[in-house]
Amino acid sequence: MTGITDFPIHAKWPARHPERLQLYSLPTPNGVKVSIMLEETGLAYEPHLVSFESNDQMSPEFLSLNPNNKIPAIIDPDGPGGQALPLFESGAILLYLAEKTGKLLPQDPAARYETIQWLMFQMGGIGPMFGQVGFFHKFAGKEYADKRPRDRYIAESARLLAVLEQRLAGRKWVMGEEFSIADIAIFPWVRNLVDYYGAGELVGFDKFSNVRRVLGAFLDRPAVVRGLKIPAHA
């Protein structure tokens, strides 16, 4: 039977608790989705910091777990059939953890697919588009004289926020009364766009009152407060 110690990543990030789920991450908007999910569900886990400053995500040990050199990634020593399960892509990890724990994903098939639909809305829309706003507004792309790429991603992000705004009208969370993995996927990115990228004014964030309300409620959750700081910097 394969255990945590059989994975090459263990050489660089040794597990002190190999019986626990291992998280390899950094508190970025994609990384915190998984730490928040783990905090919300109460599963025992051990976090490992993958530092971008030292380019850890390009190390052979990390690439052995995720050849796409991106956090987050996990290994669950107690995966399906009792076998260890390695997994990358935050959306896949959220679905896996929801199914493993029976939490934060409705059992009813229609509501379940509706939740997955909004999870995919984040994975295919909000994440990539907001990320490009970060590049063109805050990082290297802000030096580009041609502002058309920046403006395109700002406009697309504002459009996605308007879709979310409409969805949240009259709803407590994305799925209504129940907090779900759709909220865990979406709101770290909304927070990041406004707080870290400083793009609130550019996307007209003030006018999205439902999005602002739900973001506030999200950030008030104790598990979210904890998850946003995991893995802690050394």
Ligand X SMILES: N[C@@H](CCC(=O)N[C@@H](CS)C(=O)NCC(=O)O)C(=O)O
**The one segment of 65-73, 94-102, 103-111, 159-167 that binds ligand X by CB under 6 A:** 65-73
Q: What residues contact residue 224 under an 8 Å CB cut-off, 6+ apart?
A: 36, 39, 40, 187, 218
**65 touches ligand X (CB under 6 A):** no
Residue 55 C-beta: closest distance to ligand X, Å: 8
**57 touches ligand X (CB under 6 A):** yes
Task: Tell me which residue has tokens 């995720």.
Answer: 66
β-pairing, 45-49 with 73-76?
Answer: unpaired
Residues 164-193 that bind ligand X (CB under 6 A): none
Q: Which of 66, 203 has the CB closer to ligand X?
A: 66
The tally of CA atoms less than 13 A away on the side-chain side of residue 99 is 11
**135 touches ligand X (CB under 6 A):** no
Number of residues forming the site for ligand X (CB under 6 A): 11
Residues 6-35 that bind ligand X (CB under 6 A): 28-30
Binding mask 139-168 for ligand X (x = CB under 6 A): ------------------------------
Residue 159 C-beta: closest distance to ligand X, Å: 20
**The one segment of 11-19, 85-93, 147-155, 161-169 that binds ligand X by CB under 6 A:** 85-93
Contact residue for ligand X among 4, 21, 71, 181 (CB under 6 A): 71
Task: Tell me which residue has tokens 């007209």.
Answer: 204
**59 touches ligand X (CB under 6 A):** no
**90 touches ligand X (CB under 6 A):** yes
> Which residues of the chain form contacts with ligand X (CB under 6 A)?
28-30, 57, 69-72, 89-91
